[in-house]
Amino acid sequence: MQQHSPMDSSTPPAANPSRLIISAASIALLGVIWATAAWVTADRTLLPYPSEVAGIFWNEFVSGEIWFHLSATLMRVIGAFVFAMCIGCALGIFAGRKPAFNAWADPWVIIFLNLPALVVIVLCYLWIGLTEVAAIVAVAVNKIPMITVMMREGARALNPALDNMAQAFQMPRLKTWRHVIAPQLAPHFAASARSGLALIWKIVLVVEFLGRSNGIGFQIHLYFQLFEVGHILAYAFSFILVMLLIEYLIVQPWEKSASKWRLNES
């Protein structure tokens, strides 16, 4: 006979409708504050109304201009993100598992964590040149120490009893990584991916601002020189929108599926 625990009937909590209403109201409130500030300022060149920014966004969208710059920035974000995650995860996990390596790596991590992003960007452009490689390396170097620290904490928190279990049952190394270690690191990976994305796209804009000839950062630089606040806001919002889509369509669903088993916890 099937024995059912009280948790057998548990289902994932549905999206809370009141939460969605609050989020929508909160965003609407931001729009109202912005419109009020534009009305008080009464200077369209300094702070245009939200409707004007939406109009600029639509024009750039229809002309295809925004897509060109958005895709250039997105490529840099993806390149820097993948590079930083690969190096940061490898270093972090190794440092968390090997205290001797960590003793050597820790001072480096602290130095790089405290190195201003602007200094790294300028040095990369000076040493490598005003190239795509320099832009991606500059962004990745800024993010790697943070990912290393987060993944190191994850590796330190690995359950040694599960390690012993895998060893006692002579589980193959690859299988142990996939089924025993990776699921334990998943929350740390998701946290570093999320904070990585949030930081990387901001640094990419600075990198483009200082030394690229396309991308959202380049456009912001251009319209800064032309004193076109409406265009600056339209380009900034376009990228915020893309990052929100990545967060809600990729990062959160992945995180949810990786932690699905926790719903069964009694």
Which residues bind to another protein, rule: CB under 8 A?
Answer: 1-3, 5, 7-8, 159, 161-162, 164-171, 175, 179-180, 183, 261-262, 264-266
Kindly report the number of other CB atoms within 10 A of residue 123's CB atom: 14
Supply 189's token pair.
């990976």
Task: Name the minimum Å distance from CB 53 to another protein.
Answer: 45
Q: Which is nearer to another protein, 188 or 231 (CB)?
A: 188
Q: Which is nearer to another protein, 180 or 242 (CB)?
A: 180
Q: Which is nearer to another protein, 166 or 216 (CB)?
A: 166
d(CA 207, CA 214): 11
Task: Name the minimum Å distance from CB 121 to another protein.
Answer: 40
d(CA 124, CA 142): 11
d(CA 128, CA 216): 22
DSSP letter assigned to residue 215: S
Alpha carbon 7 to its chain centroid, in Å, reads 34
d(CA 32, CA 221): 28
Task: Name the minimum Å distance from CB 160 to another protein.
Answer: 10
Buried-state track 37-56, b at ≥16 Cβ within 10 A, e below 16? ebeeeeeeeebbbeebbeeb
Task: Name the minimum Å distance from CB 174 to another protein.
Answer: 12
Identity at 126, one-letter amino acid code: L
SS3 (DSSP) at 172:
coil
Task: Name the minimum Å distance from CB 261 to another protein.
Answer: 4
Q: Which is nearer to another protein, 8 or 132 (CB)?
A: 8
Q: Which is nearer to another protein, 9 or 114 (CB)?
A: 9
Tell me the three-class secondary structure of 133-171, residue by residue. Answer: HHHHHHHHHHHHHHHHHHHHHHHHCCCHHHHHHHHHCCC
Task: Name the minimum Å distance from CB 159 to another protein.
Answer: 8
Q: Which is nearer to another protein, 116 or 172 (CB)?
A: 172
